[in-house]
């Protein structure tokens, strides 16, 4: 047998074995995620599952006109726009701080990581006591002569959510940034400093460029965790609260009424939105960090 | 000299600031633990105002304000004895959490190891596209994936049972992504050498790959465990019977009833997560580090 055919046969064998290892997971992912999602897309353009008439974008138009959906989208977007940039900037700053020469680094790191492990359900009582009408925060503001605020049931709820969000996510993001900062080549910074570059210049043009893939990833992760804030709201205030009516509330209520059309079109719409957001972030990152080798 | 002072002053300021921030971060946890050692009576005196529908005669001795207290007047195990020995309901809910989370964590990580081996073993174009699809799937929020999950559970007739949470959990692509990234860093020569020595594919996986990935699997397992130990969305939608709800969902309702016990229940729920944190902080950090960067 010639050498090349033997090589070909070996390659074929490699390919087949690799597929064998992949199969169990592929079957599961197909059954539980991909195939049903195709059905979800199919449902989203039908009038109802029984008669199955094609209605095009009608379900989507109805969804846009639905006031509960509008409220849910508005609240979720407002919250994400406040919380995500804050989380990215603060965690980046914390990572730089912990990478500088301060004592007790590993202790500080443990403290910042701790909230990640602690179940929200466990500490929700403390948050309730702090943000309650007669709670700690209002007692503190009272000392300064301010009128008590209903933190949870007014627009301040965004602030409450942001605090809880930052508490939960900053540690994770900070670790990601710390490892990225450790990967910035020191010689480039040294050369820049020798040539008289200011600290601000090296930060903006060297460090940030090398960090741009991590910034992208942390931003995506934070957006996803911002969609998970329903947990906090549910635990903080029970099921329903107008000042914090988020997308998950909308989904839950739609699940209860089993409105497949509304449910599917919302899921399709949301997945499109996520893909667009991720795509845009990727493009920005590629443009900004293009001349940096990985 | 002046420059020296300035530099140290900056460091000191930074340290003080970081210290305050760190204390704020652990405060809720510390408070929960310290409050769990108060007597029920002390809890009611401090936090009783939280129960909005408490009857008015009960109100009379409860202060209007909530007093956040760090240190109990008298250290007592009363809450714990009530939770652990007198109200089996809480332990039952705790058990509900365990039988959901442990199978998901164990099997998701094991399956992910098998799959990651497949992705590492040979890298072709089709496989890279599938891997990218896994990443996209991983990045989808619950609001998207819960709808397909619900439909499948309905078709398979497992809606309302624990399988509706466990099965999709096992196939969730998160740990496949992480483990593949970690496994691809193992030098190919290790596998080649074993194969040349006549080891079968299964032997290479169990005797070379798995031992090398031990710490990676621990890191991934930790992250998966925390995520599911916290779950709220899935049980609310996929389980029909409140008796099957995990403690994470149930704890939100406790403040309308047993405030006096709530802190001890919260601590009991926190203990597995905290122990894992203390034991595996390094693994946790490693896991997070590897999750960074979407590019393979």
User: Residue B143 belongs to a domain with what CATH number?
Assistant: 1.10.3720.10
The pLDDT-based confidence of B257 (bands split at 50, 70, 90) is: low
Nearest CA in chain A to B231: A231
Number of domains in chain B: 1
Residue B234: name the closest of B248, B251, B255, B220 by CA.
B248
Identify the bridge partners of residue B160 per DSSP, sorted by sequence position. Answer: B239
Residue whose entry in the numeric block shows the structure tokens 């996929």? B238
DSSP tag of A239 = S
Q: State the burial class of residue B212 (Cβ atoms within 10 Å of its Cβ: 0-12, 13-18, 19+).
A: middle
pLDDT, average across residues A237-256: 76
Q: What is the pLDDT of residue A92?
A: 93
What is the SS3 assignment for chain B? CHHHHHHHHHHHHHHHHHHHHHHHHHHHHHHHHHHCCCCHHHHHHHHHHHCCCCCHHHHCCCCCCCCCCCCCCCCCCHHHHHHHHHCHHHHHHHHHHHHHHHHHHHHHHHHHHHHHHHHHHCCCHHHHHHHHHHHHHHHCCHHHHHHHHHHHHHHHCCCECCHHHHHHHHCCCHHHHHHHHHHCCCCHHHHHHHHHCCCCHHHHHHHHHHHHCHHHHHHHHHHHHHHHHCCCHHHHHHECCHHHCCHHHHCCCHHHCCHHHHHHHHHHHHHHHHHHHHHHHHHHHHHHHHHCCCCC
- As a whole number of angstroms, the distance between CA B235 and CA B160 comes to 9
- pLDDT, average across residues B166-188: 90
Interface of A with B in 150-189 (CB under 8 A): 167, 170-172, 175-176, 179-180
Residue with tokens 């003080």: B16
- Give per-residue pLDDT as tens, B201-253: 889 899 988 998 888 899 899 989 988 998 888 888 888 888 888 888 887 66
Nearest to A175 by CA among A250, A110, A102, A269: A110
Chain A residues 253-282 with CB within 8 Å of chain B: 255, 263-264, 266-267, 270-271, 274-275, 278
Q: Which residue of A has its CA nearest to B163?
A: A32
| Dist CA B210 CA B117 (whole Å) | 9
Residue B255 in any domain: the answer is yes
Report if residue A189 sits inside a domain.
yes
CB < 8 Å to A18, chain B: 118-119, 121-122, 124, 127
> Is residue B27 assigned to a domain?
no
Q: Would you say the C-alpha torsion B136, B137, B142, B143 has a positive or negative sign?
A: positive
Least Cα separation, residue B3 to chain A (angstroms) = 16
Residues A93-126: pLDDT tens digits? 999 888 887 888 889 989 999 898 888 878 888 8
B36 within domain boundaries = no
The total domain count for chain A is: 1
A46 phi/psi in degrees, rounded to 5? -110, 160
Q: How confident is the model at residue B65 (pLDDT cuts 50, 70, 90)?
A: low
Is B137's CB within 8 Å of A230's CB?
no
Q: Give the predicted TM-score (pTM) of the model.
A: 0.86
The band of B20, judged by pLDDT with boundaries at 50, 70 and 90, is: very high
Residue B184 has pLDDT above 70, yes or no: yes
Q: Report yes or no: B271 at the A interface, CB cutoff 8 Å.
A: no
pLDDT score of B56 more than 80? no
Residue B208 lies in a domain: yes
What is the domain extent for residue B122? 86-291
Nearest to A40 by CA among A250, A210, A291, A271: A271
Q: Does A196 fall in a domain? A: yes
In a domain, A119, yes or no: yes
Q: Tell me the residue range of the domain where A124 lies.
A: 66-288
Give me the interface pTM, i.e. the ipTM. 0.84
Q: Which candidate in B90, B148, B249 is best for mutational testing of the A interface (most A CBs within 10 A)?
A: B148
As a whole number of angstroms, the distance between CA B134 and CA B249 comes to 29
Distance from the Cα of residue A127 to its chain's centroid: 22
pLDDT for residue B293 is more than 70: no
Is residue A134 included in any domain, yes or no?
A: yes
> Any idea what the CATH number is for the domain that residue A134 is in?
1.10.3720.10
**What pLDDT was estimated at residue A116?**
87
């Amino acid at each position: 047998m010639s050498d090349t055919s033997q090589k070909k046969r070996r390659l074929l064998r490699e390919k087949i074995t690799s597929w064998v290892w992949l199969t169990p997971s592929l079957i599961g992912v197909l059954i539980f995620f991909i195939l049903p999602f195709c059905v979800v897309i199919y449902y989203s353009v039908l009038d109802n599952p029984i008669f199955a008439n094609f209605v095009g974008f009608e379900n989507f138009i109805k969804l846009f006109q639905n006031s509960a959906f509008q409220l849910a989208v508005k609240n979720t977007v407002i919250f994400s726009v406040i919380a995500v940039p804050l989380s990215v900037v603060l965690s980046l700053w914390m990572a730089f701080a912990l990478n500088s020469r301060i004592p007790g680094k590993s202790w500080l790191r443990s403290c910042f990581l701790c909230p990640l492990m602690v179940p929200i359900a466990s500490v929700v009582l403390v948050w309730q006591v702090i943000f309650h009408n007669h709670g700690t925060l209002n007692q503190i503001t009272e000392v300064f002569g301010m009128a008590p605020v209903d933190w949870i049931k007014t627009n301040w709820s965004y602030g409450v959510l942001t605090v809880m969000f930052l508490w939960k996510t900053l540690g994770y993001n900070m670790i990601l940034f710390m490892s990225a900062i450790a990967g910035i080549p020191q010689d480039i910074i040294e050369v820049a400093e020798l040539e008289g570059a200011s600290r601000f210049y090296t930060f903006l043009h060297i460090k940030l460029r090398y960090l741009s893939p991590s910034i992208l990833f942390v931003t995506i992760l934070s957006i996803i965790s911002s969609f998970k804030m329903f947990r906090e709201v549910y635990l903080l205030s029970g099921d329903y609260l107008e000042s914090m009516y988020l997308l998950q509330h909308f989904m839950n209520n739609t699940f209860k009424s089993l409105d497949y059309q509304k449910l599917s079109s919302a899921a399709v719409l949301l997945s499109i939105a996520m893909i667009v957001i991720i795509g845009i972030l990727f493009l920005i990152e590629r443009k900004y960090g293009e001349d940096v080798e990985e | 000299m002046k420059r020296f002072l300035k530099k140290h002053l900056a460091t000191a300021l930074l340290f003080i600031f970081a210290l305050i921030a760190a204390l704020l971060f652990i405060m809720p946890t510390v408070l929960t633990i310290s409050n769990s050692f108060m007597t029920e009576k002390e809890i009611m005196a401090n936090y009783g105002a939280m129960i909005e529908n408490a009857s008015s005669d009960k109100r009379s001795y409860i202060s209007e304000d909530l007093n956040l207290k760090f240190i109990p007047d008298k250290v007592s195990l009363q809450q714990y004895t009530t939770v652990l020995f007198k109200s089996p309901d809480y332990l039952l809910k705790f058990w509900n959490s365990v039988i959901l989370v442990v199978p998901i964590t164990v099997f998701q990580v094991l399956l992910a190891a098998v799959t990651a081996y497949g992705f590492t073993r040979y890298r072709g174009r089709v496989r890279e596209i599938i891997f990218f699809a896994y990443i996209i799937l991983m990045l989808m929020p619950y609001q998207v994936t819960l709808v397909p999950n619900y439909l499948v559970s309905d078709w398979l007739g497992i809606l309302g049972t624990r399988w509706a949470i466990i099965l999709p959990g096992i196939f969730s692509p998160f740990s496949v992504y992480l483990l593949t990234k970690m496994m691809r860093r193992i030098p190919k020569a290790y596998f080649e050498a074993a194969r040349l020595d006549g080891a079968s594919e299964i032997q290479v996986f169990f005797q070379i790959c798995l031992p090398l990935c031990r710490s990676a699997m621990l890191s991934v397992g930790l992250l998966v465990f925390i995520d599911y130990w916290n779950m709220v969305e899935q049980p609310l939608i996929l389980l029909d019977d409140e008796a099957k709800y995990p403690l994470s969902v149930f704890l939100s309702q406790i403040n309308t009833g047993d405030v006096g016990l709530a802190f001890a229940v919260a601590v009991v729920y926190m203990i597995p997560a905290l122990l894992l944190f203390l034991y595996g902080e390094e693994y946790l950090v490693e896991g997070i580090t590897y999750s960074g960067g979407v590019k393979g």
